[in-house]
Structure 1
Amino acid sequence: MKKLLNIVILLVFAIVVQACYEDKSGLDVNTIPGVEIDTTGVSKISVYQFDNLELNPKLNIEGLSESQLDYEWKINLAPNDTTYQILSNVRNLDSEIAFPPTNPGYPHQLVYTVTDVNTDLKYIMAWPVTVLNNIGEGIVIAETSDGTSTDFSHIMSADVTTDFEGESVKYHVYSKINGTTIPGVTKQIKYYQIYGKNAMLGITDNMIYRIQTLDYTLAGTNNDLFYVPQTSYNPKALGQVNQGSLFINNESLTSTYFGASQKFGSAFASSYTVPDIIATNPKANPPVTINYYSEAIDKFVYQPSITQFGDSNRYEIPENTTGVFNPATLVNMVNLAAGTGTDGAFRHLLKNESTGDIGLYVFDGGASDYPNTIPPAPIAFFNLTNAPDIAQGKSFVFLDDQKVMYYATDSKIYAVIYASTSVVVQERYTAPAGEELSILQVYQQADYPFRSSGSYLPLNNKALLAATYNGSEGKVYLLPLINTGIGNIDTPNIKTFTGFDRITAMNTQL
C-alpha cells in the first residue's frame, strides 16, 4: 500500500512540473515578426479646416520589409459616424481636411492601419481629430465652372485679413464641405451678422440664400429667410444702411435689422417700384436714406427713413428749374451706377436709351424740416458721353470719400475725376493680354463704414478689386490706390490671386 502511494505522489509531481513548464519556443527562439506604432507625444490631433494634416508615425517593423506592408489612413465622415473616407494609402499622411469645424467634445476619428500582406495581420491605431475654423476675414469668391451652379473660394492675406501673415487661398470651399454646389449663377454676395452669427447672403436669378461662414454650410433659401413667404423670388440686389439690411425683390424693397431679427419681414408698401441700382446713405438718421431714378416713371424717388419711427413713404423729387439740371426732365434714362458720398451727396450715373448720352447727376443729401423732409436738390452735372470707351463700360464704381469714379471695359479701367467744374478722364489700368475684365468694385471691409472704432486695414476703401477671365481661369486683382483725388493705381504693388473658375461675384467677410 505504501509503495502504491509513492507511485501516485510521483505521478502527481510529474504532472505539476509539466504544467509549470514555460514553452519559450514561440518567443526568443521563434519570434513572430510584427509592427509597433509608436504614438509617443501624439494622443490627440487638431488641424485647421482646409489645411493638410501631416503625420509621420514612427514604426518599428523589425523582421519585416517595407514591401510586405500596406498602409491605410481613413477618417469618419462626421463625429460618431461609422462611415469612413480613405485619405491615403501611403506610410505617412499628408492630406487636406475639408470637414466643417467640430464642436467641443465631438472629434472625428482618424484610423491608421498597417497590414502585413503575407499574414494578413493588421496593426491599428486611432486618434481623435479636432477640426478648427480656418476661414476668417478675407475675400469671398463666387464662381461657376458650368454656367449653371455656384461654388465658393476664399482668400486671406495680410492686405485683407487682420492680424494675418502670409497668404492662404482655399478653393471650392462650399463643394468640399457640402458635397454639392449651389444651383444657379450667383450675381451678388454680401456679408451680414445675423443675430450674432456671421453669414453671407447671395442671390441668383430666382433665389436668395444664406451661408454660415463659420463652416460654409447652407442655412436656408427663399422662404426660409422670410417671416412671411414671398409670392415669387426675382432677386435684384442686396444692400446695407445703418441698422438696416436691404433686399430688392420683384421691384420691391424689404428691410430688416439683423441685430434683432433672423429673417426679413414684409416689403415696404409703396406704389413706386424699385430698380436694382439705388443710392443709400449709411449714416445714422440721415434726412434721406434712399434715393433712386425710377426707369418705370422717369422720375427720381426718395425715401426718408427705413425705420418704423421715421417716414418710410416714398416721394418724387420735384421739378427744379433753377438748379444745374432739372430732375423732372430726365426721361428715357437707364441706371448704370449709384452711390453716396461721405458728404451725403447722392450720385447717379445714367444713360439715355435714345441718344446713348451718359451723364453723372449729383444731388445733395436733402434736409430735415420737422415734421417734413426737404428733398435732395441737384448740385452738379457732368457730361461723360465723350469719355473714352465709356459706351463699352461694364462696371462702374464710386469712391465715397473722393470725387472719383471708375469704369471698366473688357480690357481697361478708367478714372473719372469730377472735383471741379470740368471733368478729367484718364486710363489707369490695362488687363493682361487674353484676360477679360468682368467685375470691378471698391475693396471695403465687410462692416465698413459701421465699425464704431473706425479702425480698418490700410487698404480699406483705398483699393479696387477686379476679376478677369481668360476662358479657362479666373483671377482676382487687388489694385492699391495712391494720390488721393487723382485715382492712380500703385501698379508695382498689385496683388494677383489665380486658379479660380469664372468669377461671378466677390465681396468681403469677417
Structure 2
Amino acid sequence: MKTIKFKYLYGLVSLFLVLFYACKDDLSSLDTNKLPNVIVDTVGNSKLTVFQFDKLTLDPKVNLETIKDRTFKYEWTINIEPSSTEYIVIGNQKKLDYQVSFVPTSIDRPHQLVLKITDEKSGLDYIQDWPLQIRNGIGEGIVVVETYDNTNTDISHIMSPLVTPDFNLEKIRYKIYSSVNGAPISGLVNSMVYTKLGANNVLLAGTNNNLLSIKTLDYSAGDQKEKLFYAPQSSYSTGFLGNVVQNDIYVSEGKIYSNWLQISKFGLPNANNYTIPNIIAINSRYDYPNIVLNFYSEDKGHFAYQPSFASYADRTMRPVPSSAGVFNPNQLPNKKNIAASVNNQGDFLHLLKDKTTNKYGLWILTAGGYDSENWVITPSNPKKYVDLSNAPEIDQATQFAFLDNQQTFFYATKTKIYAVIYAATNPSFGLRYTAAANEEITSLKMYYQADYPLVSRDFFSKNGKQLILGTYNGTEGKVHVLPIVNEGVGTIDQTNIKTYTGFGKILFTTTQL
C-alpha cells in the first residue's frame, strides 16, 4: 500500500514540473513589459488632523517607476462616517484641497481618507489611505445669523482677536449650518441665545413657527419643537429667547415659559393674567437679583414685574404700584414697546412710543429691593424719564443697542447710527456712524460675551466696548466691529473699525463660547 502511494505522489510531482516548465517562457515575456511600481511617501503625514470647516490640503510625494508613455489619474475619497464603508469622492487631482464639514471625531474613531492612483494603460489601481481626525474648529466668537433668499436662515461664524480671547488668528467660516446639515434652517430666525441643553452647549433659536437647538460642537441640528417640551404645544412661534441663572426663557404668542434646559425641558407656561410682549427686560445677573422680569403691558397700560423664575421662589406677576414720582408706572396707557434692556445696576430700561403722538421716551425703573423684616420683595420704582422728542430720525430707527455701564444707548436707521446720552437732565444726541454708499444697516448689537452677566469672572477686555454692525448692499452682507471710545458719550473710533465680508443679508448677530 505504501509503495502505491509513493508512485502516485511521484506521478503528481512529475506532472507539476512538466506544467511549470511548459509555462515558463510565457511568464518571462513580462520582463519586457514591466509594470510600474507606485509608491506614496507618507513620512511626516501618516496620521492627519484638520479642524472642522478648515481646508484639508495634502500634496503627497508619489514616486513613479514608470515609462514615458504611461499616464495616471487620481481620485480622493473619504468615508461619510468613521467605520463606514460608504465613500464619497472629494478630489480628482494629485493635490487635495478640500473644505472639511464633517462633524468632529474622537481620536479612536477617525475617518479614512483614500487616494487611488490608476495607471490608465494597464488599468491597475494603487491605493494609499490615511486616518483623518477632525477636530472642533469653532470656539468663542461672533455668530452671524443671515439669509440668502429672505426665506431661510444660515449661520456663519467669526473668530478673531477682537471677539475671541487669547486668539491671534482670524477664522471666518461661512454657511456652516447648511454645510453640516445639508440645508439651511427653514424660516427666518428672529431670536437666539447660547445655553446648555442637557450635556450639550447649544444655540437655542426661534422662528415664527419653530424652536430649535444647534450643537455648537459641530453645528449639527439638535432637538426641536416637541422634543424641547414635556408635552407638544399648539404653536412654536418664537417671540423672545433669553436666560437667567438656572433658567432659560421662552416667549411665544403672549405666554412665557421658563425652565432649566440643562436638567429639564419646558413645561407649562407661567401662570399669569398678562399677555407677554416679545420685548421684555430680564435681569440675568449671576447674584440672584430681587426682580428678574420687568415689562410694559400694552393691553393693560402699565409696567409689571416678576421676582423670580425659580419654582421654589415667588413667580407671581404683579403690576408695578402707582407712584407720584417722575412718572406713574401704573397708569401709562397707549404706548408701544420699542426696546428694553437692563443696566449693571439692575435698573430696567424701556423705550416706548406713544401710539397717538408718535413721541418716543425712555422710562427707567429701579431694580427693586428686599424687605428683610417681612421677608418680601419690594417692587421697582420709577427712577427717570428721558424725553426723546428731539432725537434725530428716531422714528426711522430699526435697531437699538444699550450700554449697561453708561447712560448711553445707540439707535440706527437704515444708514446712520446715533448715540443718546441721557446722564444729564436733558439728553443729548450725536451722529456716530454713516454707512457706506449703497449699504443698508440690517443689524446692530453691543458686544457682550455669551455668559455675561450670568457668571462672575474676569471678562474679555473688549466686553461691552464695541458695537457689532451688520450692513447689506443687495448682494453681500458685511460685519463691522466698531470700537467705542470716550466713555459716556458713545464715540466710535472710526480709524480702527474692522470689517468682515462675504455674508448674506445679516438678520442679527450674537455670541457663543
- For the aligned pair, the TM-score class normalised by the smaller chain equals over 0.9
One-letter amino acid matched to 1:393: A
Counterpart Cα distance in 2 of 1:66 and 1:352: 84
1:451 and 2:455 equivalent?
A: yes
Correspondence for 1:79 among 73, 82, 99:
82
Query: Helix, strand or coil for the counterpart of 1:422?
Result: coil
**Deviation readout 1:295-327 (Å, 9 max, x if unpaired):** 111111111111122211011112212x11122
Correspondence for 1:148 among 132, 147, 151:
151
Residue 6 of structure 2 corresponds to which residue in structure 1? none
**Deviation readout 1:301-354 (Å, 9 max, x if unpaired):** 111111122211011112212x11122332110011111111121111100011
Q: CA deviation at 1:40?
A: 2.8
1:416 and 2:420 equivalent?
A: yes
Return closer, same or farther for 1:135/1:26 CA change in 2, 3 Å cut-off: farther
Q: CA deviation at 1:408?
A: 0.4
- Please list every run of 5 or more consecutive structure 1 residues that lacks an aligned counterpart in the other structure: 1-10
Counterpart Cα distance in 2 of 1:134 and 1:504: 24
Q: CA deviation at 1:79?
A: 1.5
Correspondence for 1:127 among 115, 130, 134:
130
Contact 2:115 2:127 in 1 (8 A): yes
Return closer, same or farther for 1:63/1:357 CA change in 2, 3 Å cut-off: same
Q: CA deviation at 1:206?
A: 0.9
Return closer, same or farther for 1:367/1:30 CA change in 2, 3 Å cut-off: closer
1:464 and 2:467 equivalent?
A: yes
One-letter amino acid matched to 2:420: V
**Deviation readout 1:224-277 (Å, 9 max, x if unpaired):** 11122222222100012222211111211111123433x222211011121011
Counterpart Cα distance in 2 of 1:47 and 1:26: 48
Counterpart Cα distance in 1 of 2:173 and 2:455: 27
Alignment of 1:92-491 (within 5 A): 92-261=95-264, 263-283=265-285, 284-321=287-324, 323-369=325-371, 370-453=374-457, 455-491=458-494
Residue 56 of structure 2 corresponds to which residue in structure 1? 53
Counterpart Cα distance in 1 of 2:464 and 2:267: 31
**Deviation readout 1:345-370 (Å, 9 max, x if unpaired):** 11111000111000011111122223
**Deviation readout 1:122-142 (Å, 9 max, x if unpaired):** 111111211111011111111
One-letter amino acid matched to 1:197: N
Q: CA deviation at 1:19?
A: 9.4
- Please list every run of 5 or more consecutive structure 2 residues that lacks an aligned counterpart in the other structure: 1-13
One-letter amino acid matched to 2:38: V
Counterpart Cα distance in 1 of 2:308 and 2:455: 21
Q: CA deviation at 1:18?
A: 6.1
Q: CA deviation at 1:205?
A: 0.5
Contact 1:186 1:505 in 2 (8 A): no
One-letter amino acid matched to 1:292: F
Contact 2:243 2:249 in 1 (8 A): yes
Q: CA deviation at 1:35?
A: 2.1
Counterpart Cα distance in 2 of 1:484 and 1:112: 58
Counterpart Cα distance in 1 of 2:230 and 2:21: 84
Q: CA deviation at 1:109?
A: 1.2
Q: CA RMSD in A?
A: 2.2
Q: CA deviation at 1:162?
A: 2.2
Contact 2:341 2:348 in 1 (8 A): yes
One-letter amino acid matched to 1:337: A
Query: Helix, strand or coil for the counterpart of 1:334?
Result: strand
Contact 2:71 2:120 in 1 (8 A): yes
Contact 2:103 2:218 in 1 (8 A): yes
Q: CA deviation at 1:444?
A: 0.6
Counterpart Cα distance in 2 of 1:385 and 1:412: 18
Residue 6 of structure 1 corresponds to which residue in structure 2? none
Query: Helix, strand or coil for the counterpart of 2:257?
Result: strand
Query: Helix, strand or coil for the counterpart of 1:223?
Result: helix
Counterpart Cα distance in 1 of 2:468 and 2:20: 88
Contact 1:76 1:110 in 2 (8 A): yes
Contact 1:71 1:89 in 2 (8 A): yes
One-letter amino acid matched to 1:410: K
Contact 2:70 2:119 in 1 (8 A): no
**Deviation readout 1:27-55 (Å, 9 max, x if unpaired):** 76653334222223332211111111111
Q: CA deviation at 1:385?
A: 1.6
Q: CA deviation at 1:91?
A: 1.0
Return closer, same or farther for 1:149/1:66 CA change in 2, 3 Å cut-off: farther
**Deviation readout 1:135-155 (Å, 9 max, x if unpaired):** 111111111111221111111
Counterpart Cα distance in 2 of 1:209 and 1:15: 77
Counterpart Cα distance in 2 of 1:53 and 1:65: 31
Q: CA deviation at 1:469?
A: 1.0
Counterpart Cα distance in 2 of 1:505 and 1:289: 25
Query: Helix, strand or coil for the counterpart of 1:329?
Result: coil
Counterpart Cα distance in 2 of 1:65 and 1:224: 63
Query: Helix, strand or coil for the counterpart of 2:314?
Result: coil
Return closer, same or farther for 1:237/1:28 CA change in 2, 3 Å cut-off: same
Return closer, same or farther for 1:112/1:16 CA change in 2, 3 Å cut-off: closer
Aligned-residue sequence identity (percent) comes to: 44
Counterpart Cα distance in 1 of 2:350 and 2:21: 104
**Deviation readout 1:183-215 (Å, 9 max, x if unpaired):** 111111111023342100111011110011101
Counterpart Cα distance in 2 of 1:148 and 1:493: 34
Return closer, same or farther for 1:357/1:21 CA change in 2, 3 Å cut-off: closer
Contact 1:49 1:100 in 2 (8 A): yes
Contact 1:159 1:457 in 2 (8 A): no
Residue 7 of structure 1 corresponds to which residue in structure 2? none
Q: CA deviation at 1:452?
A: 2.7
Return closer, same or farther for 1:59/1:443 CA change in 2, 3 Å cut-off: same
